Amino acid sequence: MSQYDGLNRRAFLRNAGMTALVGAVGPGTSLGAMTGVAAGAAFGAAADTGKYDFDTPYNRLGTDSVKWDQALRQNEMGTIVAGMGIADMDFRCAPVITKALQERIQHENWGYLDTPKSFTDGIVAWNKRRYGIDVNPESVVITTGVHPGLIAAIKTFCPVGSKVLLTTPTYNGFYGDLRFTGTKPEESLMKYVDGRFQIDFDDFERRISMDTNAFILCNPQNPTGNAWSPDDLMRLGEICLRKRVVVLADEIHCDFVSKGNKYTPFATLPNKAVVNNSITFKAASKSFGLAAMKCAWFFSDNVEYINRVKAQNRADLSTLGMIASKAAYAGGEDWLNQCVDYIDGNHDFTQKFIRANIPLVKIGAKPQGTYLTWLDLSDVAARIDAKGMAAAEAGKTRNGNPPSPEAMLVKWFAKNAKVALNAGDTYGKGGDNHVRMNIATSRKTLDAALTSMARALDGLKKTSTSAL
Ligand SMILES: Cc1ncc(COP(=O)(O)O)c(C=O)c1O
């Protein structure tokens, strides 16, 4: 009998060597039980080797995490092998961050916070050193997340009812920003060639009309993993400049680039006019696992753009978000480099595993960036009759509409593999029959999740039943 039979998370954790770390593994796990980590592993650092531990699974259950706790609750899974949905990471954060937060917590006052110059200086130095970007410190605007920044920019440039250009499939959160601002998506479906997505430049240009005022660039692209080349970015930038479309460059995933690939910041393109027609949105949150610290920032060489967007951006800096981001930029680079290498290894592992063991799942070329994998589940959808299942669920939803077949795919894997994924249809045109899988977790957890998915599909082959 295999260690994953019964899909019992407690058994999985025991086999993964985690019992020393966790007290309980179902819903309601207490944080106190979870923080009882072995003495000597303070802040997750192995001081003598200089190597950080990404391998030991770090239990997040019981912390109200979206990726694990919410997945468990919403999918009614009972037990969970892995939360592989929302884009955050399962690792303990960089020790410098924990240390800085612990030091600040000693001071027991949490009144309003001034934005210290050293914070902006840290952002500027980090971007210069790591990516060669000359960020004008005067233009840096702090915000509570990339979403609030994007929303402020959309409100600035795009009247209610107008269109915002997207290359799809693209990050599902953008659609929420458009709903929030009363704007509409104009979707340019990317071409899929030899396992990789490509921008259809003719289609992209054709879709720009009088009421298209902004394009949200996602670089590297969530969910496809494209790290756009300087040529791609220049072509996009020139079209947008010519057609008077402002480029909103969301580069939150910039640090996760797999070996042999490169992140090209839009702000470093050689054409000054193209760069001046853009605003870049970034944060330490993806890179260092600080999503709920609510701290991000945007900048541009175009001071007029920045001043206009600033007027729509009502954001206060949180003390912990600022401390964490500042510490990350000041001392977290070694941790981040090791983390990026580890994710690169996870991509290799995922590619190999799926090709060898899960024939019903199609995976494209290794992603150039992000810690996300975009999976084609057309064969699975056909086998489980995802469309039929969706139709059968119609009466059960709040609005009476049937859920999407992709939601049924997610539900099927939650029930049968105890793995939570994201439904592809939420990523716009091109997302049908797909799911997004987040691989930013320990290799043991990744292995367990993929093994569990393979087993579930094996069961499907044998019984050819698909009941949810
Ligand atoms: C491309 C992209 N932009 C923005 C966000 C969210 O940013 P924030 O949490 O800073 O609002 C995400 C989160 O997954 C993302 O993938």
- Alpha-carbon distance of 126 to 309, in angstroms, equals 24
User: What value does the mean pLDDT take over residues 329-337?
Assistant: 97
Tell me the pTM: 0.90
User: What value does the mean pLDDT take over residues 175-200?
Assistant: 98
- Cβ–Cβ < 8 Å for 237, 247: yes
Separation of 149 CA from ligand 1 center, angstroms?
11
What's the pLDDT at 48?
65
Separation of 296 CA from ligand 1 center, angstroms?
10
| Probe target for ligand 1 pocket from 222, 228, 438, with the most ligand atoms within 8 Å of CB | 222
- Alpha-carbon distance of 61 to 69, in angstroms, equals 6
According to CATH, the topology of domain 5-94+333-463 is Aspartate Aminotransferase, domain 1 (3.90.1150)
Would the CB of 142 count as within 6 Å of ligand 1? no
Residue length, the chain?
468
Separation of 147 CA from ligand 1 center, angstroms?
6
Q: What percent of the chain has pLDDT over 90?
A: 83
- Cβ–Cβ < 8 Å for 200, 236: no
60 has pLDDT over 60 = yes
Would the CB of 248 count as within 6 Å of ligand 1? no
Query: Of 192, 242, 182, 188, nearest to 216 (Cα)?
Result: 188
Would the CB of 252 count as within 6 Å of ligand 1? yes
Sorting pLDDT into bands at 50, 70 and 90, what band is 4?
very low
What's the pLDDT at 22?
31
Which residue intervals of the chain bear CATH 3.40.640.10? 117-331
User: What value does the mean pLDDT take over residues 399-423?
Assistant: 94
Neighbour count for residue 31 (Cβ, 10 Å): 12
- Alpha-carbon distance of 455 to 371, in angstroms, equals 24
Q: Which of 205-214, 245-254, 308-317 has the lowest mean pLDDT?
A: 308-317
Q: Which of 66-70, 271-275, 394-398 has the lowest mean pLDDT?
A: 394-398
23 has pLDDT over 90 = no
| Probe target for ligand 1 pocket from 171, 373, 426, with the most ligand atoms within 8 Å of CB | 171
How distant, in Å, are the alpha carbons of 123, 240, 278, 338, 404 from that of 212? 32, 10, 15, 41, 28
| Probe target for ligand 1 pocket from 167, 286, 294, with the most ligand atoms within 8 Å of CB | 286
- 74 versus 63: which is more confidently predicted? 63
Which residue intervals of the chain bear CATH 3.90.1150.10? 5-94+333-463
Would the CB of 147 count as within 6 Å of ligand 1? yes
Q: What is the mean pLDDT of the chain?
A: 90
What's the pLDDT at 12?
39
What's the pLDDT at 399?
75
Q: Which is the closest atom of ligand 1 to the Cα of 370?
A: 16
117-331 — its CATH code? 3.40.640.10
Separation of 176 CA from ligand 1 center, angstroms?
11
Would the CB of 222 count as within 6 Å of ligand 1? yes
Separation of 214 CA from ligand 1 center, angstroms?
18
Would the CB of 281 count as within 6 Å of ligand 1? no
Separation of 183 CA from ligand 1 center, angstroms?
19
- Cβ–Cβ < 8 Å for 328, 287: yes
Would the CB of 285 count as within 6 Å of ligand 1? yes
Q: Give me 348's structure tokens.
A: 């290799």
What's the pLDDT at 24?
27
